[in-house]
Structure 1
Amino acid sequence: MTETKVERVKNATYHDTKGDLFTSFNVDDFDVPRGRDEVWRFTPLRRLRGLHDGTFPEATTPDVSVDVPESASGVTVEKVTRDDERIGTAGAPVDRVGAQAWTAMEEATLVTFARNSSNTDPVTVTVTGRGADVTSFTDVSIVVEDGAEAIVNIRYTGDGTHSDNHEYIVGDNARLTVVVHVDWDDTAVHLGNQRAKLGRDAVLRHNVACFGGGVVRLIPSVKFTAPGGDAELLGVYFADDGQFFEQRLLVDHAEPNCRSNVLYKGALQADPSSDLPDARTAWVGDVLIRANAQGTDTYETNRNLVLTEGARADAVPNLEIETGEIVGAGHAATVGRFDDDQLFYLLSRGIDPNQARRLIVRGFFSEVIGRIPVKAVRDQLEEQIAEELEGTRL
Structure 2
Amino acid sequence: MAKAQTPSPAGAAGGGAVAVAAESTVATRMSAPPSFDVADFPVPHGREEEWRFTPLERLRGLHSGTAKADGSVKADLSAPDEVIIETVGREDARLGRAGTPVDRVAAQAYSSFEKALVVTVPSERVLDEPIRLTVHGEGGVTFGHTVFELKPFAEAVLILDHTGDTVRAANVEYVLGDGAKLTVVSVQDWDDTAVHVSQHNALVGRDASLKSIVVTFGGDLVRIHPRVSYAGPGGEAELYGLYFTDNGQHHEHRLFIDHDSPNCRSNVAYKGALQGQDAHAVWIGDVLIRARATGTDTYELNRNLVLTDGARVDSVPNLEIETGEIAGAGHASATGRFEDEQLFYLMTRGIPAEEARRLVVRGFFAELVQQIGVPDVEERLIAKLEAELEASIA
After TM superposition, the score normalised by the length of structure 1 is: 0.90
Residue identity opposite 2:114 in structure 1: E
Task: Say yes or no: does 1:157 pair with 2:158.
Answer: no
Q: 8 Å contact 2:297–2:328 — kept in the other structure? A: yes
Q: 8 Å contact 1:189–1:214 — kept in the other structure? A: yes
> How do 1:230-309 residues align onto structure 2 when only pairs under 5 Å count?
230-270=236-276, 272=277, 278-309=278-309
Identify the range of structure 1 (213-222 vs 325-334) with the bigger mean alpha-carbon deviation.
325-334
Picking from 93, 105, 111, the partner of 2:113 is: 105
Gaps of 5+ in 2: 1-25
CA distance in 2, matches of 1:359, 1:22: 46
Residue identity opposite 1:50 in structure 2: G
Task: Say yes or no: does 1:208 pair with 2:214.
Answer: yes
Picking from 59, 76, 86, the partner of 1:48 is: 59
Residue identity opposite 2:252 in structure 1: E
Classify 1:163/1:372 alpha carbon distance in 2 versus 1 (closer, same or farther; 3 Å). same
Classify 1:146/1:58 alpha carbon distance in 2 versus 1 (closer, same or farther; 3 Å). closer
Residue by residue over 1:274-307, the C-alpha shift from the partner in whole angstroms, topping out at 9 and shown as x without a partner, is xxxx111100000111111111111100010111
Residue by residue over 1:46-76, the C-alpha shift from the partner in whole angstroms, topping out at 9 and shown as x without a partner, is 01110000111443454322112xxx25300
CA distance in 1, matches of 2:40, 2:337: 43
The equivalent residue for 2:45 is 34
Q: 8 Å contact 2:69–2:143 — kept in the other structure? A: no
Q: CA deviation at 1:373?
A: 1.5
The equivalent residue for 1:5 is none
CA distance in 2, matches of 1:367, 1:99: 35
> Over the residues paired in the alignment, what is the CA RMSD in angstroms?
1.6
> How do 1:62-73 residues align onto structure 2 when only pairs under 5 Å count?
62-68=73-79, 72-73=80-81
Picking from 133, 136, 161, the partner of 1:125 is: 133
Task: Say yes or no: does 1:198 pair with 2:204.
Answer: yes
CA distance in 2, matches of 1:141, 1:156: 16
The equivalent residue for 1:78 is 86
The equivalent residue for 1:275 is none
Picking from 18, 24, 42, the partner of 2:28 is: 18
Residue by residue over 1:327-385, the C-alpha shift from the partner in whole angstroms, topping out at 9 and shown as x without a partner, is 11110111111356644431331222332122101110111001112111111000000
CA distance in 1, matches of 2:376, 2:48: 40
CA distance in 1, matches of 2:267, 2:342: 26
CA distance in 1, matches of 2:50, 2:92: 30
The equivalent residue for 2:10 is none
CA distance in 2, matches of 1:223, 1:118: 23
> How do 1:311-350 residues align onto structure 2 when only pairs under 5 Å count?
311-339=311-339, 342-350=342-350
Residue identity opposite 1:306 in structure 2: V
Q: 8 Å contact 2:287–2:318 — kept in the other structure? A: yes
Residue identity opposite 2:267 in structure 1: N
CA distance in 1, matches of 2:178, 2:47: 41
Residue identity opposite 2:51 in structure 1: W
Task: Say yes or no: does 1:223 pair with 2:229.
Answer: yes
CA distance in 1, matches of 2:29, 2:314: 22
Greater than 4 Å deviation, 4+ residue runs:
none
The equivalent residue for 1:139 is 145
Residue by residue over 1:149-175, the C-alpha shift from the partner in whole angstroms, topping out at 9 and shown as x without a partner, is 011101111001111000000000000
CA distance in 1, matches of 2:178, 2:69: 41
CA distance in 1, matches of 2:343, 2:175: 44
Q: CA deviation at 1:87?
A: 1.5
Gaps of 5+ in 1: 1-15, 273-277
Q: 8 Å contact 1:59–1:137 — kept in the other structure? A: no
Determine what percentage of the aligned residue pairs are the same residue. 52
CA distance in 1, matches of 2:391, 2:73: 36
The equivalent residue for 1:9 is none
CA distance in 1, matches of 2:393, 2:172: 38
1:18 is paired with a residue of what secondary structure? coil
Residue by residue over 1:232-255, the C-alpha shift from the partner in whole angstroms, topping out at 9 and shown as x without a partner, is 000000011121000000011111
The equivalent residue for 2:20 is none
After TM superposition, the score normalised by the length of structure 2 is: 0.90
Picking from 93, 96, 107, the partner of 2:101 is: 93
Q: 8 Å contact 1:266–1:305 — kept in the other structure? A: yes
CA distance in 1, matches of 2:69, 2:89: 20
Identify the range of structure 1 (54-63 vs 73-82) with the bigger mean alpha-carbon deviation.
54-63
Classify 1:377/1:83 alpha carbon distance in 2 versus 1 (closer, same or farther; 3 Å). same
2:123 is paired with a residue of what secondary structure? coil
Higher relative contact order (CA 8 A, sep 6+): 2
Classify 1:290/1:256 alpha carbon distance in 2 versus 1 (closer, same or farther; 3 Å). same
2:50 is paired with a residue of what secondary structure? helix
